[in-house]
Amino acid sequence: MEFHAYSIMQHANFAFALANDVPMEEVEELRHYDRKTYNLILLHGLTGTDTDWLYGGLAQEMSIRFNLNVFMPTVGNTFYLDKGYAGANWCEYIGRELPEYIRDTFCVEMTGENTIIGGLSMGGFGALHTALTYPGSFCACIALSSGLIIREYARIGAEFSGAVPPQMMLDIFGDPDKVLTSDINPEKQYLDLEKAGVKIPRIYMACGTEDALIGSNREFASFLKEHDADYIYEEGPGGHNWRFWNRYLEKGLDRLFA
């Protein structure tokens, strides 16, 4: 589907899978149909698109199994961050405008009590950042192999090397000397919400033990433990690939709906 989004001043694409498009005899776990349908905004990684979770992932299968409406937007290589002006406010698009459009167009009941945000890699970072920017819009967050590269970028700065070229890092995250004290940093976001007494969405994190991002995911999980957060962190064999993400998306949903 495509619509004009004002926060990014362009036509925006998103794919979707609805839980109502299945005969009940195909549903393995009917217990998820004893409640109202939940919603899941599911984010792609670097270089990804709205169809990644349909073709590489198991979005439609998860929709049917867990009684979920799944919405998968495209945002380019933006890390789901706001630039501070209409035309490039990607977090606002995901956290506010897209849910509003879905409610108006699909007549879906989408509230902070029945909406989860999740993603992989860059989308794992985006899910955490968006959930902490709009904590009233989401009941939970699923962050898989999250691109939590803020601390490394702050340490190394322009010499940062990885999947994102240095100039792109500078454009996305800004001054490395200021990034840790900015609202880009999920740790600062969490501390600000904690200080304000705001209810923070439950967090599920997972990362593969062979993933290059395992260190930064462990660091953030330790931060959450230190602050007595409502979170679950899991590791398992695997790298930065669909085999791991599909397995742990299912595990994450199992944990949240337990």
Q: What DSSP string runs through 143-199?
A: EES----HHHHHHHGGG--SSS-HHHHHHHH--TTTGGGSTTSHHHHHHHHHHHTPP
- What percent of the chain lies above the pLDDT cut of 90? 85
Mean pLDDT of 122-128: 98
Q: How many domains does the chain have?
A: 1
Q: What is the pLDDT of residue 103?
A: 96
Mean pLDDT of 128-150: 97
Q: What is the pLDDT of residue 186?
A: 98
Mean pLDDT of 225-239: 98
At 166-209, the pLDDT tens digits run 888 889 999 999 999 999 999 999 999 999 999 999 999 999 99
Q: What is the pLDDT of residue 168?
A: 87
The answer to whether residue 77 scores a pLDDT higher than 70 is yes
The answer to whether residue 90 scores a pLDDT higher than 70 is yes
Residues of 111-141 as b/e, b for ≥16 C-beta within 10 angstroms? eeebbbbbbbbbbbbbbbbbbbbbbebbbbb
Question: Which residue has 């994450």 as its token pair?
Answer: 252
By residue count, the chain amounts to 258
Q: How many Å separate Cα 206 from the centre of its chain?
A: 12
CATH code of the domain containing 240: 3.40.50.1820
Print the domain residue range for 201.
2-256
The answer to whether residue 30 scores a pLDDT higher than 80 is no
Q: What is the pLDDT of residue 156?
A: 84
Q: What is the pLDDT of residue 34?
A: 85
Edge-to-edge strand ranges of the sheet holding 68-73:
2-5, 10-17, 68-73, 38-43, 115-120, 140-144, 202-208, 231-236
Nearest to 73 by CA among 114, 38, 119: 119
- Identify the H or E element spanning 126: helix 122-133
Max Cα-Cα span within the chain = 57
